[in-house]
Amino acid sequence: MQEITKITPTAFEIMDEIKTRWSPRVFDDVPLSISEVKQLLEAGRWASSSYNQQPWRIIYGIKGDKVYDQILDCLIPFNQDWAKNAQALLVTAYKKTNFDGDPYFHAPHDLGLFMGNLVIQANHNGIAAHHMGGIDQEKAHKTFEFTDDFEVATAVALGHYGGNPDRLPEELQEQEVDPKRERMAINEFAFNGNFKSK
């Protein structure tokens, strides 16, 4: 099996847990336990949020249980093809209104902070996380009986690094083993002054 190594050309030195994080589509066959998944949720639990409102809600399934299969069934077919390799699946959602019943504009930001904590803890533990926008939000909302005050956001596949890329559809294998990683330069998205559109 080919070992996958990614190269992260940072402009400044950053934590290894950030530098070595990437989003595979194939995972090692080593199962994830409920306690391992709950440790990641614990890391997310301590994220900051506007007025400590903690608008995030997470549905989690461990491979082999009913919830895992339900989450997999909510993914678009493209994601189902590879996400079935994951050892755990999540659905993320957020509350659309604040404590006063007003629109909670910061909720997606707060959910992002939760997931940022979770992902860094996961990488620290040798667990990869691959986020997916490709989920049928309406189906997931109904399947997991969310109330109207909540919006389904994403799905996430979790598993240990080290999966065999040969298990992926052929069109994804090249992308999986490509060592090159790219991001915008800092001066393309951060400005010490007025916003600059490109």
pTM above 0.75, yes or no: yes
The beta strands (E) that lie in 70-149 are given as 88-95, 127-132
The two three-digit tokens of residue 25, written as one number: 């589509």
Whether 9 is covered by a domain: the verdict is: no
pLDDT at 198: 67
Whether 65 is covered by a domain: the verdict is: yes
Question: Which residue segment(s) compose the domain that 37 sits in?
Answer: 16-188
List the Cα angle 55/35/41 in 5-degree steps. Answer: 20
CA–CA separation, 15 vs 35, rounded Å?
A: 25
List the Cα angle 76/26/81 in 5-degree steps. Answer: 25
pLDDT (average), residues 163-187: 89
Whether 171 has a pLDDT exceeding 60, the answer reads yes
Domain with residue 65: its CATH number is 3.40.109.10
Whether 7 is covered by a domain: the verdict is: no
Whether 2 is covered by a domain: the verdict is: no
- Residue 85: pLDDT band with limits 50, 70, 90: very high
Instruction: Determine which of 64-68, 78-82, 114-118, 173-177 has the lowest per-residue pLDDT on average.
Output: 173-177
Task: Give per-residue pLDDT as tens, 21-80.
Answer: 999 999 999 999 999 999 999 999 999 999 999 999 999 999 999 999 999 999 999 999
Specify whether the CB–CB gap between 133 and 76 falls below 8 A: no
Largest CA distance in the chain: 55
Determine the 3-state secondary structure of 178 from DSSP.
coil
Determine the 3-state secondary structure of 51 from DSSP.
helix
Share of the chain above pLDDT 90, in %: 85
- Residue 4: pLDDT band with limits 50, 70, 90: confident
pLDDT at 170: 84
* CA 50, chain centre distance (Å): 21
Specify whether the CB–CB gap between 27 and 128 falls below 8 A: yes
Mean pLDDT of the chain: 94
- Tokens 């083993």, residue located: 177
pLDDT at 196: 83
Closest CA to 134 of 79, 63, 52: 79
pLDDT at 174: 85
- Residue 17: pLDDT band with limits 50, 70, 90: very high
What is the radius of gyration, based on Cα positions, of the chain?
18
Q: Residues 6 or more apart from 142 whose CB is under 8 A from it?
A: none
Please give the tally of structural domains in the chain: 1
Whether 79 is covered by a domain: the verdict is: yes
Instruction: Determine which of 94-108, 114-128, 147-161, 175-189 has the lowest per-residue pLDDT on average.
Output: 175-189
Whether 130 is covered by a domain: the verdict is: yes
